[in-house]
Amino acid sequence: MGPFIIVAVIVIFLVVLIANIHIVPQARALVIERLGAYHSTWHTGLHVKIPFIEKVAKRVSLMEQVADFQPQAVITKDNVKMQIDTVVFYQITDCKLFTYGVEAPLAAIENLTATTLRNIIGELELDSTLTSRDIINTKMRAILDEATDPWGIKVNRVELKNIIPPREIQDAMEKQMKAERERREQILRAEGEKNSTILVAEGKKQAMILDAEAQKQRQILLAEAERAAKICQAEGEAEAILKIQEATAEGIRLINEAQPSEKVIAIKSLEAFAQAADGKATKIIIPSEIQSLAGLAASFKELVTDSGTAAE
């Protein structure tokens, strides 16, 4: 029987030893009590507990946790009753305080959140409550974080999940939103019509400006063309006058070279008077010199005629 007892004792010892070996995983902690009093906190790794003397008082998760609470009834400053539910993100930083600081930490956080929310909302009106979520979240996080420090809990974030006003308030808000949308639609339509009118007016203005510019250019071109035509005409007339003067000068030169007699000059003068009359003048005054020269010409003509008759 002796060996069996020894084997049994060894097996029992091994079983007890194995039962008191604890491997603490990552982001976990064990609160250990010795003889009913807090002894230590075990973190990640292998630990051995003394049987019957030490015990695991609490297993604690060190990861960030989320507490989603039921909607809480609150009343705003303007006496509007509504339902608000919150979400709290917290993390345990001190396992001893968390274990011995409060009896039910999660229930304590929920009640503290409800009372804090009522105090903050009670200072705000309905419109401010609906538009000041960030302010409410920041105030609640600061208050809860300070209040939960003695419990070994750090509140990282608080969010208002839903704000549910009474049904009549929701109907009024929907009507207000509808009226606001209609007002914005009318404003946008009016702005569109205004912009369209402005664009049309600008287009007409640009068209008139372009038309005026075109007429101006047309008049400038016409004036330039008339000026060029006048210049050409003047140049032609000047050239014609020059040619006439050159012909006159050439005729005078030829006459001077021929050295005509006075009688020839007188006959040419008589021809010039005849051309000047051109059958239109009723009276022509002929100088005496030309008259005597004309008589001489008539006598000369008669002499030529008589000589011809005698020859016959």
Per this entry, what is the length of the chain? 312
Compute how many other C-beta atoms are within 10 angstroms of the C-beta atom of residue 117. 24
**CA R_g for the chain:** 66
pLDDT of residue 148: 92
CB–CB of 113/88 below 8 Å? Answer: yes
Task: Give 158's pLDDT tier (boundaries 50, 70, 90).
Answer: very high
The fold of the 65-165 domain, in CATH, is Tetrahydropterin Synthase; Chain A (3.30.479)
What local confidence, expressed as pLDDT, does residue 234 receive? 82
**Vertex 185 angle, CA 183 and 190, to 5°:** 95
Q: Which CA distances in Å does 113 have to 4, 75, 77, 84, 234?
A: 62, 15, 19, 11, 108
pLDDT at residue 307 in the model: 45
Which pLDDT tens digit goes with each residue over 85-129?
899 999 999 999 999 988 888 899 999 999 999 999 988 888 888
Q: Is 64 a residue whose pLDDT tops 90?
A: yes
* 3-state DSSP assignment of residue 149: helix
Mean pLDDT value across the chain:
81
Task: Determine the pLDDT at residue 211.
Answer: 86
Would you say residue 251 has pLDDT above 80? Answer: no
Confidence of residue 309 (pLDDT cuts 50, 70, 90): very low
Return the sign of the alpha-carbon dihedral for residues 49, 54, 55, 59.
negative
Separation of alpha carbons 305 and 297, rounded Å: 12
Q: Provide the pairing of β-strand 65-68 with 54-61.
A: unpaired
Nearest to 86 by CA among 120, 105, 110: 110
- The reported pTM is 0.54
| Residue 311 banded pLDDT, cuts 50, 70, 90 | very low
CA distance linking residue 235 with residue 227, whole number of Å:
12
pLDDT band at 163 (very low <50, low <70, confident <90, very high): confident
pLDDT digits (tens, 9 = 90+) for 164-185: 888 887 777 778 788 888 888 8
